[in-house]
């Protein structure tokens, strides 16, 4: 199985993932043998059914035909195999069709599905996350009607937020919801960037949509609605596909501009609390960005490693050429990719555990602690993995040389597919601003300080621990410098992305140290240890540079005026 080493690494991470003891104490069954069996089954489906479809999805792409979206041949059969295998509802309650398995295992399985095809995997995520939100926030009748059908793949779901003039700035949403005398709502407006906004893979699609239900300004006037594309008898519900976007990559995942004309909707959660209600779904979709980026990065790395073991070039001219993996620069690229992948993988799994613990905690103090840590880790898990995917695809292309730039190899598709990961579900800049303004300034670094305490508990008297300790000192230095800029936000904003990167580098270093300290004698352990050691070797220098950039201030932006002067 091509995915064998990938699964071996994931299985070790699942064994060593942070907070497993806490998860078990909360009542979650931690059964590594069962988890490995499930992971192997996910890999078989990914490699045998989903991966062969990916090239077709890229070459042919979804098409708009007579006002509806038509997917590529074979997509429906692959979706049915995915749904029938129970992969949509792993964390959902058993009485609603799920398997009641932990988020951390869901996260691991999503990795191999995304490695096979990120375009394919993008349909399952909104269905699952919408189902989880309905369990938490919808009237029981709605949940009982929708959740089992979302879980078994009979119905699908989207998240509808963005509009042409209101992307991440949701307070400017203009789509209107008007209450009817029958207690229902009628929704009219336009939504854009809707992944799988329409398709022929499920019988019905539920659009989970923010719309303005009152004259209150900003987010206070927004409510959340479930707007089905059809009635149960198939009658259209005032939902229209305006067009499919022509995109750089992810051609098999139709990104739709949707129109809603007096579409009938059902209110989910309290009126005027739409964003807060939708946040449950958004958090889980953001968490799923981790395995998405890591799975794609792991596939790119494996291809580059394999190519480096086949391609011969260079060496002494009087001798036969050597494998390119013998060159120091190629080893640097490959080890750098491996280190970042394993660090991001551990961060993603840790974030899954922390998010679940924040929701299972019964004591208010414990719930607040886990929630604070989750809010710190989630932006890192999302953005670290999103940029990792594109960076690893680019580095893999570099290993391939000119061959990687051709369509003979799949690396060029991987590069195209991965570029958007750092854009959707909150851009890198938005994640960075959130980390600075909310996590550091508003919350006084509560989640960061929790992380620092946890990481320092695992330091030992050895060289790898010294590397992490130095990086943590750089993080604290940046926190102090940026803290002094709270009254002059532009000063801090100029370094926000560097600060996010610094936080990510340090959390990744914590994971890398755990890998080094837990390494065993198996080949999988040796690879994880090597990746962790390389990551830690470069960490102090990288952290020091990022700390300096984070606190450099806004004076370096003054020259921008020259580009807008009349």
User: 112 near 295, Cβ under 8 Å?
Assistant: yes
Catalytic residue among 47, 132, 425, 491: 425
Tokens of 365: 């103090």
Q: Residue 312 phi/psi, 5° resolution?
A: -110, 135
C-alpha Rg value of the chain to the nearest Å: 24
- DSSP 3-state of 63: strand
DSSP secondary structure letters along 103-147 = HHHHHHHHHHHHHH-HHHHHHHHHHHHHHHHHHHHS-HHHHHHHH
- Taking the alpha carbons of 255, 133, 283, 53 in that order, is the dihedral positive or negative? negative
DSSP secondary structure letters along 380-404 = HHHHHHHHHHHHHHHHHHHHHGGGG
Q: What does the buried/exposed string (b/e) look like for 411-447 if buried means 16 or more CB atoms within 10 Å of the residue's CB?
A: bbbbbbbbbbbbebbbebebbbbbbbbebbbeeebbb
Tokens of 30: 């931690």
CA 375 to chain centre: 14
Give the separation between CA 314 and CA 332, rounded to whole angstroms: 17
User: 87 near 79, Cβ under 8 Å?
Assistant: no
Give the separation between CA 485 and CA 501, rounded to whole angstroms: 18
Give the separation between CA 422 and CA 428, rounded to whole angstroms: 6
Nearest to 201 by CA among 71, 84, 52: 71
Query: Does 443 participate in catalysis according to the annotation?
Result: no
CA 371 to chain centre: 18
User: 65 near 139, Cβ under 8 Å?
Assistant: no
User: 106 near 352, Cβ under 8 Å?
Assistant: yes
Residues tagged active-site: 425
């Amino acid at each position: 199985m091509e995915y064998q080493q990938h699964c071996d690494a994931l299985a070790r991470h699942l064994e060593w993932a942070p907070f497993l003891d806490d998860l078990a104490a909360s009542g979650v069954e931690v059964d590594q043998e069962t988890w490995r069996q499930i992971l192997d089954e996910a890999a078989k489906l990914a490699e045998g059914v989903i991966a062969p479809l990916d090239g077709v999805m890229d070459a042919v792409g979804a098409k708009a035909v007579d006002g509806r979206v038509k997917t590529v041949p074979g997509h429906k059969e692959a979706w049915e195999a995915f749904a029938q295998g129970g992969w949509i509802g792993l964390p959902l309650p058993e009485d609603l069709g799920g398997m009641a398995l932990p988020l951390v295992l869901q996260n691991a399985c999503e990795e191999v599905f995304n490695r096979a095809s990120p375009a394919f995997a993008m349909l399952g995520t909104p269905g699952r996350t919408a189902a989880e939100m309905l369990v938490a926030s919808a009237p029981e009748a709605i949940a009982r009607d929708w959740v089992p059908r979302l879980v078994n793949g009979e119905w699908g779901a989207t998240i509808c937020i963005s509009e042409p003039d209101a992307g991440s700035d949701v307070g400017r949403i203009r789509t209107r919801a008007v209450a009817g005398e029958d207690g229902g709502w009628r929704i009219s407006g336009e939504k854009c960037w809707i992944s799988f906004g329409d398709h022929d893979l499920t019988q019905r699609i539920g659009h989970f949509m923010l719309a303005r239900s009152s004259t209150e300004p900003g987010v206070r006037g927004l409510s959340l609605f479930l707007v089905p594309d059809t009635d149960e008898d198939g009658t259209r519900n005032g939902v229209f596909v305006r067009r499919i976007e022509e995109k750089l990559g992810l051609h098999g995942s139709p990104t739709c501009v949707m129109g809603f004309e007096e579409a009938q909707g059902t209110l989910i959660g309290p009126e005027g609390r739409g964003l807060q209600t939708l946040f449950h779904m958004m958090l889980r979709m953001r968490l799923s960005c981790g395995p998405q980026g890591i799975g794609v990065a792991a596939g790119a790395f494996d291809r580059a490693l394999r190519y480096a073991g086949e391609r011969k070039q260079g060496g002494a001219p009087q001798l036969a050429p050597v494998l390119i993996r013998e060159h120091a620069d190629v080893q640097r690229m490959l080890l750098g990719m491996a280190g970042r992948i394993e660090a991001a993988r551990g961060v993603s799994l840790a974030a899954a555990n922390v998010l679940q613990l924040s929701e299972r905690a019964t004591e208010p103090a414990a719930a607040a602690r886990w929630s604070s840590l989750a809010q710190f880790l989630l932006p890192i898990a999302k953005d670290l993995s999103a940029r990792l995917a594109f960076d690893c695809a680019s580095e893999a292309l570099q290993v391939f040389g000119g061959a990687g730039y051709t369509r003979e190899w799949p690396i060029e598709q991987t590069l195209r597919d991965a570029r958007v990961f750092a854009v959707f579900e909150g851009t890198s800049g938005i994640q960075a601003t959130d980390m600075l303004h909310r996590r550091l300034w508003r919350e006084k670094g509560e989640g960061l300080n929790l992380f620092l305490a946890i990481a320092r508990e695992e330091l030992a008297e050895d060289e790898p621990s010294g590397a992490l300790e130095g990086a943590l000192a750089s993080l604290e230095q940046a926190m102090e410098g940026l803290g002094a800029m709270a009254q002059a936000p532009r000063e801090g904003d100029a370094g926000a992305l560097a600060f996010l990167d610094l936080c990510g580098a340090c959390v990744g270093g914590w994971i890398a140290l755990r890998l080094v300290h837990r390494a065993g004698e198996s080949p999988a352990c040796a690879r994880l240890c090597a990746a962790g050691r390389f990551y830690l070797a470069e960490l102090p220098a990288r952290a020091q540079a990022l700390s300096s950039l984070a606190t450099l201030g806004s004076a370096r932006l003054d020259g921008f005026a020259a580009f807008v002067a009349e």
